[in-house]
Amino acid sequence: MTDLAELTPEQRTELEAAAFRHLLQHLREHTEVQNIDLMNLAGFCRNCLSKWYRAAAEEKGIAISDPQAREMVYGMPYEEWKAKYQK
């Protein structure tokens, strides 16, 4: 078994990115879970993820808008997601 302390920064980033992609896919598949439910139970929601994504982009000098970040997280434009799934 690999000691996590032995991972290279690149390996750690690859694993974290894969886990993040899996989280996004899980949230996209479970549209019955509302953002308010996530906030109440976990202290974050899809909108939080999109803000963190945009902030990370800004730290790297990449300018993206809130709507772009939300579309990346939701897998579709936010307004479309709200119309389809928000209760």
8-85: CATH architecture = Orthogonal Bundle (1.10)
Average pLDDT on 27-46 reads 96
Taking the mean position of all CA atoms in its chain, how far away is CA 84? 19
Question: What's this model's pTM, rounded to 2 decimal places?
Answer: 0.88
**What pLDDT, on a 0 to 100 scale, did the predictor assign at position 39?**
96
| Token duo for residue 13 | 């980033």
| Token duo for residue 32 | 């019955």
User: What percent of the chain has pLDDT above 70?
Assistant: 100
Q: Where are the alpha helices (DSSP H) in the chain?
A: 9-29, 35-42, 46-59, 66-74, 78-85
Alpha-carbon span 7 to 70, nearest angstrom: 31
